[in-house]
């Protein structure tokens, strides 16, 4: 009997999950996506023995791998010829350093900035979270919205002063990306696609919303998110993300 396909437990809208999907697609993995509803996902994670509460989680050959960085390691180990981690040790260290920088400044900090805006508009968040889920999920969020939004504010540390700090770190990270790509390079480290590229582009994708990103929002972006887009649209890093998605976002196995 054929071994079951790997399963990726994820949130469709999550940029960390997009980073993991991109890695799996780059390596031409065949896998099934299990789209979970934020908050309600913890039960499913417990069932696969995940240690932390977050997605993405990959379950393959009976082994659970949690986190986009660990999933890249998993995919690279199975298909070294298309590794997203450079073989040269110094380049590998630089790719991992940049990945960490973008995980923080674009992954964590951009998420804080966007949720601080979106939580003012529960209908938008509920529409995004409930898309593709059973019919009762939207009703569940609507009924429990005050607890749900409080939980999210705690989880992602959305107090105004924290969000202001996150915005400042996001800006500094964007400056670093601009500085790297201003010489017109296609890839951040060396001559091939690496985990640094995936981290920067996937984690900025909630702001840039590249047409080639497989998941697209099912509701229009809110006015404050569009205003934020307008503030960064002319930056070199923005064009670089769009170019990387156009040229390197393989989809499907």
For ligand GSH, the binding residues (CB under 6 A) are 11, 14, 16, 53-56, 67-69, 103, 155
Side-by-side strand order, sheet with 63-66: 32-35, 7-10, 57-60, 63-66
Please name the residue ranges forming H helices in the chain.
15-26, 41-47, 68-78, 89-102, 109-118, 122-130, 136-143, 145-155, 160-181, 195-208, 223-232, 236-248
189 vs 199, beta carbon nearer ligand GSH:
199
Q: What is the DSSP letter of 88?
A: S
155 vs 168, beta carbon nearer ligand GSH:
155
Q: How far apart are CA 14 and CA 36, in angstroms?
A: 11
* Shortest CB 234 distance to ligand GSH, Å: 27
6 vs 67, beta carbon nearer ligand GSH:
67
* Shortest CB 11 distance to ligand GSH, Å: 6
Contact (CB, 8 A) for 236 and 181: yes
* Shortest CB 1 distance to ligand GSH, Å: 31
* Shortest CB 67 distance to ligand GSH, Å: 4
Of residues 19, 108, 103, the one with CA closest to residue 68: 19
109 vs 242, beta carbon nearer ligand GSH:
109
Secondary structure of residue 17 in the 3-state scheme: helix
Place of tokens 């979270």: 129
150 vs 223, beta carbon nearer ligand GSH:
150
155 vs 164, beta carbon nearer ligand GSH:
155
Q: How far apart are CA 176 and CA 101, in angstroms?
A: 9
Give the burial class of 229: count Cβ atoms within 10 A of its Cβ; 0-12 exposed, 13-18 middle, 19 or more buried.
Answer: middle
The backbone torsions φ and ψ at residue 148, rounded to the nearest 5 degrees and listed phi first, read: -60, -45
Residue nearest ligand GSH by beta-carbon distance: 54
* Shortest CB 138 distance to ligand GSH, Å: 18
* Shortest CB 220 distance to ligand GSH, Å: 21
């Amino acid at each position: 009997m054929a071994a079951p396909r790997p399963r990726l437990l994820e949130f469709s809208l999550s940029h960390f999950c997009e980073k993991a999907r991109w890695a799996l697609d780059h390596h031409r993995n065949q896998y099934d996506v299990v789209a979970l509803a934020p908050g309600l996902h913890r039960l499913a994670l417990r069932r696969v023995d995940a240690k932390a509460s977050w997605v993405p989680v990959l379950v393959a050959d009976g082994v659970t791998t949690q986190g986009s960085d660990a999933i890249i390691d998993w995919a690279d180990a199975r298909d070294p010829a298309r590794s997203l981690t450079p073989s040269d040790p110094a380049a590998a260290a630089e790719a991992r350093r940049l990945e960490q920088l973008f995980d923080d400044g674009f992954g964590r900090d951009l998420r804080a900035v966007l949720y601080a805006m979106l939580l003012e508009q529960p209908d938008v968040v509920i529409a995004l979270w409930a898309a593709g889920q059973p019919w009762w999920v939207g009703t569940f969020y609507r009924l429990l919205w005050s607890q749900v939004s409080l939980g999210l504010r705690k989880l992602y540390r959305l107090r105004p002063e924290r969000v202001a700090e996150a915005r400042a770190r996001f800006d500094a990270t964007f400056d670093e990306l601009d500085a790297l790509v201003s010489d017109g390079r296609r890839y951040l480290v060396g001559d091939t696609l690496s985990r640094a590229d995936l981290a920067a582009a996937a984690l900025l994708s909630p702001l840039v919303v590249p047409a080639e990103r497989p998941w697209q929002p099912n509701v229009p972006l809110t006015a404050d998110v569009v205003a934020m887009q307008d503030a960064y649209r002319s930056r070199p890093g923005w064009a670089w993300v769009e170019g990387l998605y156009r040229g390197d976002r393989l989809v499907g196995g």
